[in-house]
A and B are shown apart, each in its own frame.
Chain A
Amino acid sequence: MSEENKSAIMMPKADDLILSSSPHIHSDVNVRKIMLKVILALVPALIASVIFFGWDAVRVIVITALSAVVAEGLWLWLAKRPLTPLRDLSALLTGLLLAMNLPSNASWWICVVGGFLAIWVGKQVFGGLGHNIFNPALVARVALLIALPAAMTTWTPTGGLLEKNMRLPSGENVSITTVAESEAPAVISCATPLGEAAELKRTPNGAATFAPITEKSDYVKYFLGERLGSLGETSCLALLIGGIALMFMKLIKWQIPIFFIATVAVFTAIVHLCAPAMTPPPLFHLLTGGLLLGAFFMATDMVTSPMTTGGCILFGVGCGVITCVIRIWGGYPEGVSFSILLMNALVPLIDRLFQLRPFGYVRKRA
């Protein structure tokens, strides 16, 4: 190279090179992006909840999500820690997930208390994101369920559901708007399909015990979401869209939802075949309650689920079995939340059980 060219080219100056450990390049994933994608996967269910429950859904979602974010910020501020964790969107996601687990008629203060319970008791007391043992949203939901059983299990139709025919506790099948002429809608309480099933079980009638709630038209309603329940759990269609997207993006370990759902199907099929009056058929179990919400969005929380494939399978099966036991023999009509929390507690042990063996591992002879 000629001297002329040499003076024209820009040469580096050596004084401020960064010294750091390899690797020197990084994939473009980060915690914020993961959380954002999960939130996007929740969008179909959020939309479905607004369609079926109307503006009450918006109210619950906004208040709950906002209180979760405020709770996170407040905790960090009180603990004199940097506010940077707010940027990872995990508090927002927790708030949204909790909202999905609340009834549409939940009072504003239930939403606020729930948001604070989730972030403070569910997450921050353990040391923040990554250190919590239990799914924060479920901690809040179960705490509310136990402390305020009436408020959390009084299902009053709101929004679009008011126009639909609803089964009243008396067994009458009427549109709420017609009833509303004589009674204020706020005092009308209906049951979720699982609640109805528990009710029907008390007057066993052999194979026909669950006939009123297992018509073909009922299943279509359950699948689309035209039923009572927590905000986000009712539309199986919306949950499936989000859940499958999560599996394809590899943001959740597919073994957890698949084995969770499959276990519930097999377990309830066996029980239903042996004793039809004991529990409704498996399809009913798959489409009602919080199974799909729990299996795709709650049990798969990275922080509180196992890391290995084998561990995820055991975790999924365990969640399924506990859910069925509670649904069939337990005091609550629904057991998804409890099953996930119980299995959360076992995750450290499951991870130990399924410890990976290094590539080329040879067991040492004693």
Chain B
Amino acid sequence: MSERVIPPKPLSFPGGIHPAKDGKGLTEHKAVEKAPLLEDYVVLVSQNVGAPPKVTVKKGDAVKKGDILAEAGGFVSAALHSPTSGVITDIGEAPGPMGVNVPAIFIKADGLDEWSDKLPAGLNWREASADELKSRIASSGIVGMGGAAFPTHVKLSPPPDKKIDCVILNGAECEPYLTADHRLMVETPERVLAGAAIMGKILGVENIAIGVELNKPDAIAALEARAQEYGVKIVGLKVQYPQGSEKQLIYAITGRCVPTGGLPMDAGCVVQNVATAAAIYDAVAEGHPLIERVVTITGDIVVNPGNYLVRIGTPVIKLVEWASGVKSEPRKLILGGPMMGFAQKSYNVPVSKNTSGVLLLGGAEIIQYESSSCIRCGMCVRGCPMHLSPGPLSMLIENEKFDLAGQNHVMDCLECGACAYACPAHRPLVQHMRRAKAEIRRAGKK
């Protein structure tokens, strides 16, 4: 393991791609707007990795903003809170981000938007104990807001045999088009920095760094202006996709490699998204649970793309409305960025804790490619941040040689899409990798 902990220079990882069009110009200078209050919210029950939370309200209950809707269903789980004050009109099903209907809580807002009186008081994080801070994070329903939605308090509770000496915040935002984290860092750097410092305190770690891609100089400047008072270092990173992937970020900042199949803690690191850090600060200092987040609504066909502070449970159609609609009919609705986001079939899918962006693609942006045989050009190999050979792997998978694909490390695939982006034969490489991973997992369960 490398001696160097936080190098002073902008760094990167070997491999990766640089998308020709990053689409960030559409929204990177658009200040975050507070979304207007809606009449109806649809809060999906399961918004975290791990056990779904247990619903504690029933139809007809009156709730206040911040009241608990569902309790954590285990240690690896996160509570849910009401985005506004109003009445529970139904507990049923709504379209989920994965394309199937999932359990959801329907809330009719009363328009008062009153905070609950059961909320805990704000803490002075510099004086509070680590356990106090951690239990506050757990009760506030905070999960990884960059996309993984892993309950944050679990990441902050490493097993005792794992020595953590580095907290890394992911402000890379390497996905094209998305600027939610960028604006968050520019506009409220102190929340991000304080959140980082709180995590450092919980883990007893002095080395705290925020990695930001160099295409966000204003975010780097805003953070650096106040970084010292929080004991946080700001690291500029090369603009390279997927710079914000945990393993690549750890390597870029610390020079350490997370062993294959391992977790960041195996390299002594805890990685959190900058939006998560801001939510941690709100929970600790204000006592506010996670009920809203910044979401980028963007795309070339969106009339007025922008960044909005929206409540969890806002149907994405509302974001399209606030962005003044579309110039032409969208062909694809994507939750998240264009590289790893999920295509949706319904505009009624609500914003979840991990929804960083809503992207509408249409017109010339959508080309349905026909894939052809691999010509072994090696562009996928050059692009793969995990140093796999996606092309040859895809041929094994086409022939259903899943055991061989496993031997060739398909399980290490991040599904980042760098290979498929670069492939001149337009092979659906990510789809192949997902299939092999699913098959191998299924075979392992038997």
A87 to chain B, nearest CB (A): 10
Interface residues in B358-398 (C-beta closer than 8 Å to A): 359-361, 365-370, 372-379, 381, 385-389, 391-392
With a cutoff of 8 Å between Cβ atoms, the chain A residues found around residue B421 in the complex are: 23, 25-27
Known: A11-B326, A12-B329, A21-B434. A307 touches B381 (CB 8 A): yes
CA distance A129 to B373 in the complex (A): 7
Q: Is the CB of A84 within 8 A of B431?
A: no
Whether, in the assembled complex, A282 has its beta carbon less than 8 Å from a beta carbon of chain B, the answer is no
A131 to chain B, nearest CB (A): 6
CA distance A360 to B431 in the complex (A): 23
CA distance A130 to B257 in the complex (A): 34
Contact of B412 among A12, A253, A359 (CB under 8 A): A359
Q: Is the CB of B376 within 8 A of A14?
A: no
Q: Is the CB of B417 within 8 A of A11?
A: no
With a cutoff of 8 Å between Cβ atoms, the chain B residues found around residue A22 in the complex are: 338-343, 415, 417, 430
Q: Report the tally of A-B residue pairs with Cβ distances under 8 A.
A: 186
* Contact pattern, A 1-37, Cβ under 8 Å of B = 1, otherwise 0: 1000110011111101111111111111111011000
With a cutoff of 8 Å between Cβ atoms, the chain A residues found around residue B13 in the complex are: 359
With a cutoff of 8 Å between Cβ atoms, the chain A residues found around residue B331 in the complex are: 16-18
With a cutoff of 8 Å between Cβ atoms, the chain B residues found around residue A128 in the complex are: 373
Segment of B15-23, B41-49, B106-114, B151-159 engaged in the interface with chain A: B15-23
Known: A9-B321, A19-B99, A360-B257. A302 touches B381 (CB 8 A): no
Q: Is the CB of A302 within 8 A of B386?
A: no
A272 to chain B, nearest CB (A): 35
Q: Is the CB of B381 within 8 A of A26?
A: no
With a cutoff of 8 Å between Cβ atoms, the chain B residues found around residue A33 in the complex are: 424
Q: Is the CB of B247 within 8 A of A130?
A: no
Contact of B426 among A26, A303, A355, A357 (CB under 8 A): A26
Whether, in the assembled complex, B330 has its beta carbon less than 8 Å from a beta carbon of chain A, the answer is yes
Whether, in the assembled complex, A88 has its beta carbon less than 8 Å from a beta carbon of chain B, the answer is yes
Q: Is the CB of A17 within 8 A of B343?
A: yes
User: Which one of A16, A18, A34, A351 has the highest number of Cβ atoms from chain B below 10 Å of its Cβ?
Assistant: A18
CA distance A84 to B360 in the complex (A): 31
A6 to chain B, nearest CB (A): 7
With a cutoff of 8 Å between Cβ atoms, the chain A residues found around residue B376 in the complex are: 130, 302-305, 307
Q: Is the CB of A23 within 8 A of B340?
A: yes
Segment of B195-203, B230-238, B258-266 engaged in the interface with chain A: B258-266
CA distance A354 to B368 in the complex (A): 35
Whether, in the assembled complex, A361 has its beta carbon less than 8 Å from a beta carbon of chain B, the answer is yes
With a cutoff of 8 Å between Cβ atoms, the chain A residues found around residue B406 in the complex are: none
Whether, in the assembled complex, A85 has its beta carbon less than 8 Å from a beta carbon of chain B, the answer is yes
Q: Is the CB of A26 within 8 A of B420?
A: yes
Q: Is the CB of A14 within 8 A of B430?
A: no
Shortest Cβ distance from A252 into B: residue:
B377
Q: Is the CB of A302 within 8 A of B320?
A: no
Whether, in the assembled complex, B220 has its beta carbon less than 8 Å from a beta carbon of chain A, the answer is no
With a cutoff of 8 Å between Cβ atoms, the chain A residues found around residue B347 in the complex are: 12, 14
Q: Is the CB of A34 within 8 A of B430?
A: no
Shortest Cβ distance from A5 into B: residue:
B324
Shortest Cβ distance from B407 into A: residue:
A355
* Contact pattern, A 123-153, Cβ under 8 Å of B = 1, otherwise 0: 0000111110000000000000000000000
Contact of A17 among B317, B333, B425 (CB under 8 A): B333
Whether, in the assembled complex, A208 has its beta carbon less than 8 Å from a beta carbon of chain B, the answer is no
With a cutoff of 8 Å between Cβ atoms, the chain A residues found around residue B424 in the complex are: 29-31, 33-34
CA distance A212 to B321 in the complex (A): 83
Contact of A302 among B15, B345, B378, B387 (CB under 8 A): B378
CA distance A128 to B348 in the complex (A): 46
Q: Is the CB of A360 within 8 A of B339?
A: no
A79 to chain B, nearest CB (A): 15
With a cutoff of 8 Å between Cβ atoms, the chain A residues found around residue B17 in the complex are: 27
* Contact pattern, A 72-116, Cβ under 8 Å of B = 1, otherwise 0: 000000000000110010000000000000000000000000000
With a cutoff of 8 Å between Cβ atoms, the chain B residues found around residue A21 in the complex are: 343, 428, 430-431, 434
Q: Is the CB of A30 within 8 A of B257?
A: no
Give 16 A-B contacts (CB < 8 Å), ordered by A residue: A1-B36, A11-B317, A13-B329, A14-B345, A18-B331, A21-B434, A22-B415, A23-B339, A23-B417, A26-B421, A129-B372, A304-B376, A307-B389, A358-B260, A359-B248, A362-B259
Q: Assuming A12-B326, A22-B342, A31-B425, what are 9 further A-B pairs, CB within 8 angstroms?
A: A12-B329, A23-B417, A29-B422, A34-B377, A130-B374, A302-B376, A355-B389, A356-B389, A358-B409
